[in-house]
Amino acid sequence: MDCKKALAETGGDHEKAIDYLRKKGLAAASKKAGRVASEGMVGSYIHAGGKIGVLVEVNCETDFVARNDNFQNFVKDIAMHIAAAAPQYVRREEVSQDVVEREKEIYRAKARETGKPENIIEKIIEGQVNKFYADICLLEQPYVKDPDKSVQQFLNETIASIGENISIRRFVRYALGEGLAKKETDFAAEVAAAAGL
């Protein structure tokens, strides 16, 4: 019925009908955003021969949806995205203001070297901060399976198709050896092995 209505609204134009349905889906997702999502699941993904692992908690409104294949596939896809893209936060509100201010100072110093006026520098900084968020915040990253949309857009589409509010609550990403200083001989051996020596 939605497809029929979309075609009627757009005068039979298939492309416009698709856009209409996508917009309607985003509107439906925003209506559901305020509803409590306390059910869900913890999903996992192991990649690269056990060298990268992810645990992610994704919440929904009912346990019925949590058992739904579409929801479970969404959770798996998000876990895989986290393994591939290595975000540090779920959303920008989680990033410490100190971290953001430090980044702004770096961008400001670089922009001043160009000799541009101060009002232009502030716009440059704003753009750089948004790019910084897109690099480190899961919901703002380009979705690895479809880089033309963000993870937030993928989430909104899933909310619209399932019909319940869904929230990516938290995640942990492990990479083997991350944070450990490797011995110089281990590093040399890895470089030699990579070079085929």
62 lies in the same domain as 18:
no
54 and 18 in a common domain: no
Residues 83 and 160 in one domain: yes
- 1 and 89, same domain (yes or no): no
Same domain, 90 and 179: yes
The pLDDT of residue 184 is 53
Tell me, rounded to whole angstroms, the distance of Cα 27 from its chain centroid: 20
Tell me, yes or no, whether 44 and 88 share the same domain. yes
Distance of CA 176 to the CA centre of its chain: 22
Range among 43-52, 85-94, 185-194 with highest mean pLDDT value: 85-94
Considering the domain boundaries, does residue 178 fall inside one?
Answer: yes
For residue 162, report the phi and psi dihedrals to the nearest 5 degrees.
Answer: -85, -35
80 and 1 both lie in a single domain: no
Confidence category of residue 117, pLDDT binned at 50, 70, 90: confident
User: Which among 157, 152, 125 is positioned nearest to 26, based on CA atoms?
Assistant: 157
Q: 86 with 1, same domain?
A: no
Let me know: does 151 contact 56? Beta carbons within 8 Å: no
Res. 74: pLDDT tops 90: yes
* CATH number of the structural domain spanning residue 183: 3.30.479.20
Buried b (16+ CB within 10 A) or exposed e, 49-59: eeebbbebbbb
Say whether pTM exceeds 0.85. no
So what's the pLDDT on residue 133?
Answer: 96
In DSSP terms, 41 is beta-bridged to 58
Same domain, 88 and 46: yes
- Which element (helix H / strand E) includes 153? helix 151-162
Q: Is the pLDDT of residue 188 over 80?
A: no
How many distinct structural domains can be found in the chain? 2
Q: Which two tokens stand for residue 123?
A: 């716009």
User: Do residue 144 and residue 58 come from a single domain?
Assistant: yes
At 38 the pLDDT is 75
| Whether residue 4 sits in one domain with residue 91 | no
Strand 142-143 relative to strand 146-150, pairing? antiparallel
Q: Is residue 17 part of a domain?
A: yes
In a domain, 114, yes or no: no
Indicate if the pLDDT at residue 151 is higher than 60. yes
Give every CB contact of residue 145 below 8 A, 6+ residues apart in sequence: 77, 81
Statement: residue 70 has pLDDT above 60: yes
Q: Give the pLDDT of residue 3.
A: 66
The domain in which residue 165 lies consists of 38-95+137-194
| Measured CA angle at 108 (ends 106, 112), to 5 deg | 120
Say whether both 71 and 11 belong to one domain. Answer: no
- Is the model more confident about 191 or about 64? 64
Is 168 part of any domain?
yes
